[in-house]
Amino acid sequence: MIGIVDYGMGNISSVYNSLDYLGCEATIINSPEEIEGLTHLIIPGVGSFRQAMQNLEDKKFITPILNHVKNKKPLLGICLGMQLLATKGYEHGETNGLGLIEGEIIPFEIKLHVPHVGWNNINTLKKHPVVGNNVNQVDFYFVHSYYFNVKNREDILTMTEYEISFPSIVAKDNIIGIQFHPEKSQEPGLNLLEAFCEWDGKC
């Protein structure tokens, strides 16, 4: 069973509907006790890093999420959910993240329009069971004003150019984070979600 964490930060139903369309058995998680029996966990999200971490803490989701990872079960973060994997973020003040992949969430300081909204392609740096071999130079749908400044390059799977080059997919062990919205990225995005649902957490 694949759980989608509902911590009050948006796009829950679109992720669920995409998984349902793919025939993946999924459920929306509203309480921390529901996480224990899951095989896979997804943290979606849209909005503020600081508010998201506060919501996860208030709803007592943090420890069950970390335990899920410790038990070697696959975890996927989408958009804001990817950013929450980081050590810390700076949106509305410095805030500790889940600390699952080392790095910081920092704002775009560029001449191009921020937020970065729309279709953009990704450049694959290395293979991964979820990413596969068919996403290089494929367009996906982005909406974000901050990006993941990853500490260790080996944790980066793909990069994207938007005046600067930033990580668009990160991964470490049984954890993967996607900056764009696969649920809004048509067939290529659905392929990534399906690959995650089939992934055993091993690389």
Residue 107 domain flag: yes
Percentage above 90 pLDDT, the chain: 95
Percentage above 70 pLDDT, the chain: 100
User: Does 136 score more than 90 pLDDT?
Assistant: no
Supply the residues annotated as catalytic: 79, 181, 183
Digit-coded pLDDT (tens) for 22-40: 999 999 999 999 999 999 9
Residue 175 domain flag: yes
Residue 166 domain flag: yes
User: Does 134 score more than 80 pLDDT?
Assistant: no
The CATH number covering residue 172 comes to 3.40.50.880
pLDDT of amino acid 13: 93
Digit-coded pLDDT (tens) for 184-195: 999 999 999 999
Digit-coded pLDDT (tens) for 41-94: 999 999 999 999 999 999 999 999 999 999 999 999 999 999 999 999 999 999
Range of the domain at 44: 2-198
Residue 203 domain flag: no
Residue 123 domain flag: yes
Residue 103 domain flag: yes
pLDDT of amino acid 132: 81
Number of domains the chain is built from: 1
Least Cα distance to 192 among 128, 119, 123, 116 occurs for 128
pLDDT of amino acid 135: 85
Across the range 92-103, mean pLDDT stands at: 97
